[in-house]
Amino acid sequence: MKISYNWLKWYVPEVPEVDKLADVFTYHLCEVESLTPLLGEEGAGDGDYIFDLNILPNRAHDLLSHQGIARELAGQLGIKFNDPTPKYKIPESKPTNLKINVESARRYMGRIVRDIKVGPSPEWVKMHLESIGARSINNIVDATNITMFDCGQPCHAFDLDKIKGNISVRNATDGEKITTLDNKDLVLNATDVVIADDEGVLALAGVKGGKKAEVDANTKNIMLEVANFFPISTRKTARRLGIFTDALKRFENDLSPMLCDFAMLELSALLVEFGFNNFENVVDIYPKKLPEKKLSFSVAKVSKILGINVSMAEVEDILKRYSFIYRNNGDLFEINVPSMRFDLEIEEDMAEEVSRILGYDKVEPKMPKISFKPKQNEVFAKISYTRNKLLSEGYSEVMTYTFCDKGEVSVLASASDKKFLRTNITDGLKESIKLNQLNAPFLGIKEIKVFEIGTVFKKGGEEMHVAYGDKKEVKEMTLNEFTKSAESFLNGLAGVGDPGNRGPEKMTLPMTFKMWSLYPFIVRDIAFWADGEINIEEIKNLIKENAGELVVKGPELFDTFSKDGKTSYAFRIIFQSFDRTLTDEEVNTFTSKISQVLTQKGFTLR
């Protein structure tokens, strides 16, 4: 959110100098992402400064505006806030025949203003908009934008003479279309909320105006819109259509419907300042008013949460500076939560508010008293026991897809062959065995034995299963069933757990883990002719001594045959590095050395 320093001074003239103000923001409110000077005609002293503030969602309800920031500074620093409301004088309004039907909004206010003239805005309006990166369009559109950036409430103006019939705030029908102000043709669906007349859509509620009732140079009469739309519907529509606007940013973070009153007053007052006086009565549709919210907290609880001693006087001072209406009985306070402060819900919120205002540096860095005695997680323990048992029996662990093409629990917006969650692990494990079987010769593995411990999903709920097997058979059971069958094995492990505890969940199993290499391996075969039989182990040792430290598997004898009185022997070696991708040149150095040694021993290389 970009905030103009000069604009802030309208409301808090006693605001600190720019550098000090940046510190106030940083230490008590939010991050200052940038601070940019705008040079005036006579140098920096006559210019403005623009703060780019990172307002987090918990305060977007009230701080995405200059007045919101100004009110926060007034409370934070205990300085005066100049309320502009008394200055706004609206001419006596006339009766109106404006009809508005509201089905999909929390509040909707409309007002007709006649006999307007569209033209350029006053210089001060252009200056303020341009200072925060907004573009001046014309006096009517600029008035709605100034109001939004000033008080935080988005507004809109329609060309009244282009509206046919009554106004409706409703859900769109599937396939309904709109051309937006930036000339994009969009197709809507029933989840989108729109502003419409009797002939079609005028605007996307809270997101973007439409071309149909756009204010242009020929506009003579307008309808002002100040409304409060549901945050979820506006966000969904904008994300689906790929639209982002300043209005959306405010609506999707939620706004108080109470803000509409002030925004309509301010927008009307701006038009009066521009020279327009022909106003009709406001039509205000507000079917379900927000109830007044109260919040109780105790000073003792706030002190306990923060770990510091907060006095009643400090709490009362904060409440007065922020103009909270409050009552207290001893150290127990009850406040009327301001309509704009959606972030104040529970006692802990007030503790955060107090610490933020007093300063986080007042909170002493003390380690909490925590018992560091570990508590065994039974499910994790059973998984650990199961994994170690299967690893000790020569199985390797794999992880297969949770998503599949059939099952009992479906998922949304997924690929056509992955629309369900698996009901068993066996299917995926069989596929894994099949694929790994193809690579077995390259790895020098004679038998593929794998297992998986994972969740399966059934209509009755989730279950933790274990599946293990080879190409001949795969067995699957629940984790509990497996650990029961493995109980004698687990209880027999030397030095594990208390011998008096019979259940595997009572035991602590030591675990070791060795990281595998993330880099590819290189396979090399060494084959040679020998006269008659040889000592295989001696040849393996000979190759291993000359193969270097990069060998991760082998040498393994994988092929032998006899011909013309000679016997052929073929050994496989696998090279791999843990810190880089090996090159052929590196590996060839070792294989050349091995070949040379074998030749010296009288063998003939193939």
Q: In the predicted model, is pLDDT for residue 336 greater than 70?
A: yes
Classify residue 330: in a domain, yes or no: yes
CB 210 within 8 A of CB 181: yes
* Beta strand spans in 103-146 (E): 107-114
Q: Please indicate, yes or no, whether residues 281 and 299 belong to a single structural domain of this protein.
A: no
Q: Please indicate, yes or no, whether residues 383 and 355 belong to a single structural domain of this protein.
A: no
Share of the chain above pLDDT 70, in %: 93
Domain that includes residue 40, residue range: 2-83
β-pairing verdict for 107-114 and 222-228: antiparallel
Residue 70 token pair? 């100004």
The last residue of one of the domains, among 83, 109, 143, is: 83
Q: Please indicate, yes or no, whether residues 197 and 343 belong to a single structural domain of this protein.
A: no
Cβ contacts of 312 within 8 Å, gap of 6 or more: 299, 328, 331
pLDDT band at residue 350 under the 50/70/90 scheme: very high
CATH number of residue 302's parent domain: 3.30.56.10
Q: In the predicted model, is pLDDT for residue 4 greater than 50?
A: yes
Classify residue 369: in a domain, yes or no: no
Cis peptide before 555 (omega within 30 of 0): yes
Q: Please indicate, yes or no, whether residues 281 and 196 belong to a single structural domain of this protein.
A: yes
Q: Please indicate, yes or no, whether residues 333 and 211 belong to a single structural domain of this protein.
A: no
Residue 46 has a pLDDT of 54
Residue 488 has a pLDDT of 52
Question: CB under 8 Å, gap of 24 or more: what pairs does 119-127 form?
Answer: 121/274, 122/273, 122/274
The last residue of one of the domains, among 338, 362, 386, is: 362
Classify residue 137: in a domain, yes or no: yes
Q: Which of 347-361, 452-466, 500-514, 586-600 has the lowest mean pLDDT?
A: 500-514
For residue range 155-176, list pLDDT tens digits in order. 999 999 999 999 999 999 999 9
Cross-strand partners of 527: 570
Q: Please indicate, yes or no, whether residues 128 and 222 belong to a single structural domain of this protein.
A: yes
Is this structure's pTM higher than 0.85?
no
Residue 383 token pair? 């998984």
Mean pLDDT of 234-242: 94
Residue 128 has a pLDDT of 93
For residue range 501-531, list pLDDT tens digits in order. 444 444 444 556 677 788 999 999 999 999 8
Q: Please indicate, yes or no, whether residues 233 and 128 belong to a single structural domain of this protein.
A: yes
Q: Please indicate, yes or no, whether residues 142 and 235 belong to a single structural domain of this protein.
A: yes
CB 535 within 8 A of CB 527: no
CATH number of residue 533's parent domain: 3.30.70.380
CB burial readout 333-358, b (16+ within 10 A) else e: bebebbbbbbbbeeeebbbbbbbebb
Residue 428 token pair? 């995926």
Residue 397 token pair? 């662990």
Phi, psi of 33 (to 5 degrees): -75, -30
Q: Please indicate, yes or no, whether residues 166 and 262 belong to a single structural domain of this protein.
A: yes
Ramachandran quadrant class, 510 (left: phi over 0; alpha: psi -120 to 50; beta: rest): beta
Q: Please indicate, yes or no, whether residues 257 and 142 belong to a single structural domain of this protein.
A: yes
Q: Please indicate, yes or no, whether residues 394 and 412 belong to a single structural domain of this protein.
A: yes
Q: Please indicate, yes or no, whether residues 488 and 541 belong to a single structural domain of this protein.
A: no
Classify residue 315: in a domain, yes or no: yes
Classify residue 324: in a domain, yes or no: yes
The last residue of one of the domains, among 83, 111, 145, is: 83
Classify residue 263: in a domain, yes or no: yes
Classify residue 206: in a domain, yes or no: yes
Mean pLDDT of 21-50: 81
Cβ contacts of 172 within 8 Å, gap of 6 or more: 188, 189, 190, 192, 193, 194, 201
- Provide the number of structural domains found in the chain: 5
Classify residue 309: in a domain, yes or no: yes
